[in-house]
Every structure is written in structure tokens, then in C-alpha cells.
A and B are shown apart, each in its own frame.
Chain A
Amino acid sequence: MPARPDYWRILTQPLIRQNPVTLQILGICSALAVTTTLVTSLTMSVSLTVVLTLSTGIISAIRRHIPDSIRLIVQIVIVASLVIVIDQILQAYFAEISRALSVYVGLITTNCLVLGRTEAYARHHFPIPAMIDGFGNGLGYSLILIVIGGLRELLGKGALFGIQILPLADAGGWFTPLSLMLLAPSAFFLLGLLVWAIRWILPEQAEASEHPEALRPEPAE
């Protein structure tokens, strides 16, 4: 490891280039479930970023004391304790949002993204870079969640943060809400389109073809 790791790089790499959701396809379950409105996506993003930053920090601090054979259990215990704290805070101060998020805050415990970062990065690095990495990955996750949540709320209800942006046809405006956007499939579509757009701009993210060229003849014309 270099003496001074490039903190800026660690922070910004997971935003687009190594984005946990669109490149590694981690944390999809919650990304699809909570993005019906911008408020819930934002809350979920903040919760996950906080949990991820703190848990990578704690695990990195005790990384030399965790026995290898039970490291996953230790990691899950740490993550779960943090998640419970966050969940209690949400229930205490943001009861309505907490109800809208239902089980998904609790499910941060099993989010592949959290375990992935603690397992792959925090276990091998000093606490400061580990926390920066966790924070950057949390921001990358938040970016995708906020984009998808914003699009879904804007197209599905014509609103952002519950404030009407586009005048609804019922109220004399021109916008007919796409009720499909509030259903789960639309999150899949939007995420797929987003991944497609990103891989179009950054072709190095595209996965290698599963089939060799010789087995895929062009359609005859």
C-alpha cells in the first residue's frame, strides 16, 4: 500500500466509474423497493451511507482482531447494531417515512453493498481510507437512488418531494401521470436504462460477451 493513498480518488471512483449499483449490481433489492418517491429514496440513501461509513470504520479499526473464521458473523453483528440504531432514530423522529420504508431500513443489514465493502476493502485498509471508501460507495448508491426516485416521482405523480411540479390533467394542467412508474417494474426499467446509458458512455464497463463471435453469425440479409 502506498504511504499516502489518494483519498480523492477513493471517494470519487465509486460515484460513476465503480458505482456499486450500476457496475457491480449490488443493493438492487432496496434500490427497486424504496424509490417510489424522492423522500423515501433520500432517507434510505442517508441511512445506508451512515451505516456503511461507520461500519467500515469500526471493522477496519478492529480488523487485526477479528478471527478469519468468524469474520462474517462479526461484520454482520456490527452492521446490524448500527442499522438498529438508525431504524430507532427514524421511528422516533420520522415516523411517517419510517412506515413508508417498512422493512427496508432493517434490510440494510443484509445489503450486499455493505458486506461487500467491509469484506473487500475495510478488512485490508486503515480506518480513514476505509471510511472514505464506505462514504464514497454510499454516495454512489445514493446518486442512483435519487435519480431513479426523482424520475419515478416526477413521472408517476408529477411531483418532487411531494410538491407538485407538473400541472396534473385532473386539476386543469396538461400532465397525465404514468401510474406504471409507481409500480415495481418501472424501477427495473429505469435502472436498466440507466445502466445502458452509463455503459454506452463508458464502454469499458460493458461485460464481455458470453458467447464467442463465431457462434453468433449476423442475421442474413
Chain B
Amino acid sequence: MSRGLWSRETVALMLIASCLPMTLSWLWFGGLLELAELSLTLLAVSMWHIVFMLLRAQPPSLSAVTTAIAIAMLAPEELGVFRMVLGISFGVVMGELVFGGWGRNVVNPATVTLSFLGFGFPSFVWPIFDEPVAWAVLPAALIGMATGAMPAAVVLGATIFGAIAFMWGGLSEPVIMVAGIVLVLVVADPVTSAATTLGRWINGGLYAALTTLFAVGWAGAAPVQIAVAAALLSSLAAPLLDETALAIWVGRRRRRHGRS
């Protein structure tokens, strides 16, 4: 799957580039503590990539950086080194590396890690974000869509449905901010989101719809928790959406051209 300059690693680099404005502003407001957290997640994720390179000859990927950024930004606060490394080990190994590395996984490793941490240690507080960090979602989405690293249909589908839900009153402002951050970090992932155009639109819409549903009906849940749960469920639904889109396409061709 490489054409000219574009290989798997170019896509990973573009994803890092698009997350960079958001990550830097997050580090700017968070200070040294967040930098330490990011170093820890980077170290843990890269360690597993290297272990799998040595043991199973799987080429390591720069996608480890995006995974580490997503986990560092979204993980519950003050978990401590041991729990963080445990969650990362589970998420990165079971979510990505056992499938053969980045590009073959069905769920985003960061989503798996965050869900594991959320279910496993429910007493820890989910993070909240400063407003400028949430605004940095816009350049992230723009860079991602312009370079083609993020599937535009997913981002747009989520934006349109989110806007409708906001006007209807289902989404409050803090939830929208966090949902945007989660959207660019883990949902609009070229690997684990849907692969057909129609599937991508529905995938984005489904993410926004689930976020709205949880925001309305899940009492006492933190915004990050809501968005991560919606991300996990929508990425699990992505293959089904693709299958549906393909079935529609095949059916249309069959009607148009007779038996194919």
C-alpha cells in the first residue's frame, strides 16, 4: 500500500503533524507534569512496538506517537506509573500489535487503553481541557483532512450530526469540546474507521449520535468518558457499516446490470 512518497509511515507522520498544534497547546497549559505523562506513555508504547519487532519481526510504526499522545491527553488523572503501564500494555498489545501491527488492527489501541483504564479504575478522575486546546481541534482536523490522513467523511459526518444535536440541545459545550478532541485523536483514524465513503459518513454520524445519547442518558459520566465510550462502540461498528455500504453497492449494480 505505498505509492511514491506515501507509505504507512508517511500517513503516521501526517497524523502526528495534524495532532501537533493541539498537543503543543495542551503541553503549554499543562506544564511539566503533562510532559512527564507524555514521556511515560511514549516510552511504554514504543517499548511494546520494539518487543514485537524483536520477537515477531513486525516493523515498528510511528503511529506509536499518536497513540501515546492520545493516551497521555485522555487518560484519567494521577493514575500512577504502574496502572498506566498496565493499561497501555493491554491496549497496545491486545488492540493493535496482536493483529500484526498498525494497519491491521480493528480497534484503535488508544481507545482500548482508555476504556480499560476507565472500567478497571473507575475511581480516578477524567481530565478536563482548557478552551484553547479544544480550539486546536480545528487546525488538527484541517491538516488531517487536507493531507488525506484523516478520512474527511468521518470528520464531516460527526461535525454535521454534532451541530444538529447541539442546536436541538442534546450536547452541552464541555461535551462538544471533548468530543472534538477525541474525534481527531482516535475516531478519525484511517485504520479503524470505516473504509467506504458511505460507511465513513455513517461512522462519523454514529459517533456523534452515541455521544449525544450518552450525554443525555448517562448520569454522572465525565465528558471524556462519554466520548471514549462512543469512540469504542463506533469503531466496533465500522466493519458492519462497511459491509452495509458494500451490500448496497452490490445490490445497486445488480439491479442496474442484471446478475453480476
Which residues of A are interface residues toward B (Cβ below 8 A)?
A: 176, 178-180, 183, 189, 192, 196, 219-221
Contacts and interface: CB of A to CB of B under 8 A. Distances in A.
A179 B122 contact: yes
Contacts of A196: 98
B1 interface: yes
A179 B94 CA distance: 19
A179 B59 contact: no
A179 B120 contact: yes
Nearest to B55: A200
Nearest to B82: A176
Contacts, number: 30
Counting chain B CB atoms within 10 Å of each CB, which of A179, A189, A219 scores highest?
A219
B206 to A, nearest CB: 22
Chain A, interface SS category: loop
A7 B8 CA distance: 55
Interface residues of B, number: 18
B59 A219 contact: yes
A219 B103 contact: yes
B7 interface: yes
Nearest to B56: A200
A221 B94 contact: no
A189 B103 CA distance: 22
Contacts of A221: 7-9, 59
A189 B9 CA distance: 30
B8 A220 contact: yes
Contacts of A189: 90, 94
B7 A176 contact: no
A180 B119 contact: yes
A196 B116 CA distance: 20
A17 to B, nearest CB: 23
